[in-house]
Structure 1
Amino acid sequence: MICPHCERNLLRKERPGNVCRHCQREYALDPKTNQLGLNDLRVRRIATGLTDDGRIRIAPDQLWYALSRKPIRDRKPDPGCAGAAIVGAVISGLLAGFGELPFMRYACGALLALGFGILIVQSMGLNKGFAPMSRSAFRDAVLLPWERVYRALPPGVIDEAGEPWPERAADAPPPNAVLVCPDPSVAAFLTADGLPERHGIALVQGPEHVRSSLLAALPPHGPVLVLRDADARGELLVRHLRASLPGRPVVDAGVSLRTVRALPKAVPYRDPLHKPAPEEIQRLTALGEFTEEELKWLARGWRFPLVGIPPARLLAVVDRLAEQAARRGDAERGKAAETGFMTWPGAAPGDGPEPAGAP
């Protein structure tokens, strides 16, 4: 690997304890001991690209996906466990035959079944799509060592310790739209880049936070924007909001399942923590909107997350939708003030665009 400090090419023996033998400086990540094969220079390069050369800030999970994308896509079956089980079965068989230990026959049979079972699972692709490192493990295995060495997170990466869904002040102007975003990393990213304040939108976590008082403060056609992952729960979230908010525009601003599956560069993954329950798949099936193949894909836990969208592109899309909502809201408030039904502070009369649509 290349030392991130003196840029010398280091052999494994030349970097004991993550310290360069040439410049005697410590580095954070060694590709030989990191599940993602990361080094400090690669993390910096990827972070610089995601932040658009420092023009925006990003959340840790956005960096996690960008660094995990290639390992998820290129992950090969690992015969190591199966091989170890088969070798153990051979040894058990020898002990049973020549060591006069008949009970080892049971161990031999169990290990053989285990080894060939692993091979079958891998050959069928049932283990594909899992990230080598989970989101939570990324923080412990990558970000904590980085902070210890450099006394800060990678360039442009925000600290998610605060509240990702900011509370609106009691004296704040009425919002132009409500943005529902269940992903705390994406919510923290949007908040850090000033989107809710810039466009006067209320950023909330889920449907339970879209209260009647919040909707009453919106202009008559103020939309509820939904920013969600392309997975089973994301599809259900949009439909739940539309059913529970009749007459209110609910705009799906998330990732389209069919669009993302058709993109050759999109890399979905599987997360055991987000695998849908059977009743959720039954609800999707009852909608009649998905093909059998799509339902199987969702049922196996495949998903494409919001954190997988390039941050600058995601911010631009949500910016555009929020700006449309703000312009429409100002126009509606201005018309209401002109007709005398109500007055809205800071409203400018005029015509607005059509309701915001999907990107």
Structure 2
Amino acid sequence: MICPRCAASLTGKQRSGRICAHCGKRFALDPAVHGKGMHDIRIRGIAERATDHGRLKITLTQLWYLSRTRNYAWAEQDPQGVPAGIRWLVALPVAVALLLCAVLTDGVLAFVAGAAGCVVLVVASAMRHRPGRPPRSQIIPSEETFRQLMTGAWSTAYGRLPKGVVDDARPVPRPRGASRSRASAPLSRPTAVILCTDRVAALFLTANDIPGRLGAVLLEAAGTEGTAGRSDIVTGALKELAEYRSALPVVVLHDADPLGVLLAPLIRAAQPDRVVVDAGLPVSAARGKQGVVRLARHNRFADAEQLRTVAGLPEADAKWLADGFWSPIAAVPPRLLESIVVRAVERALAAPPPGPRHAHTNGFLTWPQAPQTPHARDTGRPGAGTSKREGTSSA
């Protein structure tokens, strides 16, 4: 590997203990130890591009998404075969009965009964059972591993996280350029509301004072896992929006998941006099574009029919979400996320009040293309099985 300190080419022996044998300085990551792609030069370059060379602050979670080397997602697997307990509960009595018949009789009948008993035992032994599995996904390296490397080995080698990266496990500092009066102004006289369902994306917006620059107030709608907790997000969002006059437009920023695509239509239905702009991650982009982070979990919020009728999704997008796949908006490149929010607020302020002609005109934004980055080849997948898999990888 190349030493990130002096650019010397190092063999395994020359970088023992993550100390360069040429310059004697410590570095943080060794691909041979921490996995493919885990290299100081690569991580530093990703951070520089993501922060726009220091102009933006990004969270450690955003850096993890951008630094991933593999991403896998599997749909739910139905159980196959007969469980061993049930199989032997049926096979053993049948085999015993046939073998007793062979013992108590003679001639051809005894031969047939004995052979049938043996066949039952052989078939029961040969049968296999694969239990069902819920939707699941994996990002390599894991968030826990990446966070430990950055707050441990990286901070030890360089004294801090990469420039512009903040640890979102701690309170996000106020931007240096944001005065106290400027930061508090949107709370008293906002011109728009940004409703964000992703905590990491909300922290990114706060760290860069994007709502303050736009004269908007940021509301974070978060809930617990499960149907009840996610329903609370919709109820809580409507309750918080009720505190702001109906003339104030709302920009909804959300993941590409069932709750996200339903949130804007539900707000429009509950508050028809309010301009609502859906600035969430489009499902079509999350499902079909290479390099997008794809995850999987149980979908208990809506089925494909609801996603088609209420959110107006195409059949393929609705089925993708119903199968448990989703994509976090926090994984969108920070510069692209910033531009989307700015354009969405501008569009919301310019939109006419909803009426018979405009009630359904504020839909998904057309997202610009993200900058192209080299992707690592997908060489395989962990685990086994024949379930449907969504896999992406990026370097």
Distance 1:128 1:216 in 2: 39
Distance 1:284 1:164 in 2: 38
Could you report, residue by residue, the CA deviation over 1:182-205 in whole angstroms, capped at 9, with x for unpaired residues?
A: 212111111111111112211111
**Pair 1:162 & 2:171 matched:** yes
Tell me how far 1:8 sits from its aligned partner.
1.4
**Pair 1:225 & 2:232 matched:** no
Distance 1:281 1:42, change over 3 A: same
Q: Which residue number in structure 2 is paired with residue 4 of structure 1?
A: 4
Counting matched residue pairs gives 290
Distance 2:136 2:128 in 1: 21
Distance 2:153 2:304 in 1: 40
Distance 1:222 1:36 in 2: 48
Distance 1:301 1:211, change over 3 A: closer
Which structure is larger by alpha-carbon Rg, 1 or 2? 2
SS of alignment partner, residue 130 of structure 1: strand
**Relative contact order, higher structure (CA 8 A, sep 6+):** 2
Q: Kindly report which structure 2 residues correspond to 1:205-216, keeping only aligned pairs within 5 A, or say none.
A: 205-206=220-221, 207-210=234-237, 215-216=242-243
Distance 1:232 1:356 in 2: 16
Distance 1:163 1:242, change over 3 A: farther
Distance 1:266 1:40, change over 3 A: closer
Distance 1:179 1:171 in 2: 11
Distance 1:73 1:297, change over 3 A: same
Q: Which residue number in structure 1 is paired with residue 365 of structure 2?
A: 358
Q: Which has the higher strand share?
A: 2
Question: Which moved further from structure 2: 223-232 or 297-306?
Answer: 297-306
Distance 1:325 1:290 in 2: 22
Return the TM-score normalized by structure 1.
0.67
Distance 2:135 2:239 in 1: 45
Alignment gaps of 5+ in structure 2:
74-124, 222-233, 354-360, 367-395
Distance 2:295 2:364 in 1: 29
Aligned-partner residue type, residue 268 of structure 1:
V
Distance 1:223 1:299, change over 3 A: same
The answer (yes or no) to whether the contact 1:176–1:325 under 8 Å persists in 2 is no
Distance 1:142 1:113, change over 3 A: farther
Q: Which residue number in structure 2 is paired with residue 305 of structure 1?
A: 328
**Pair 1:250 & 2:249 matched:** no
Tell me how far 1:25 sits from its aligned partner.
1.8
* RMSD between superposed Cα atoms in Å: 4.0
**% identical equivalent positions:** 33
Distance 1:165 1:293 in 2: 42
Which of 331, 335, 339 aligns to 1:316? It is: 339
Q: Kindly report which structure 2 residues correspond to 1:45-56, keeping only aligned pairs within 5 A, or say none.
A: 45-56=45-56
Aligned-partner residue type, residue 308 of structure 1:
A
Distance 2:306 2:329 in 1: 23
**Pair 1:196 & 2:211 matched:** yes
Tell me how far 1:279 sits from its aligned partner.
5.0
Distance 1:287 1:326 in 2: 25
The answer (yes or no) to whether the contact 1:324–1:355 under 8 Å persists in 2 is no
Could you report, residue by residue, the CA deviation over 1:81-125 in whole angstroms, capped at 9, with x for unpaired residues?
A: xxxxxxxxxxxxxxxxxxxxxxxxxxxx89x969xx69xx9xxxx
Distance 1:253 1:278 in 2: 20
Return the TM-score normalized by structure 2.
0.62
Distance 1:65 1:31 in 2: 18
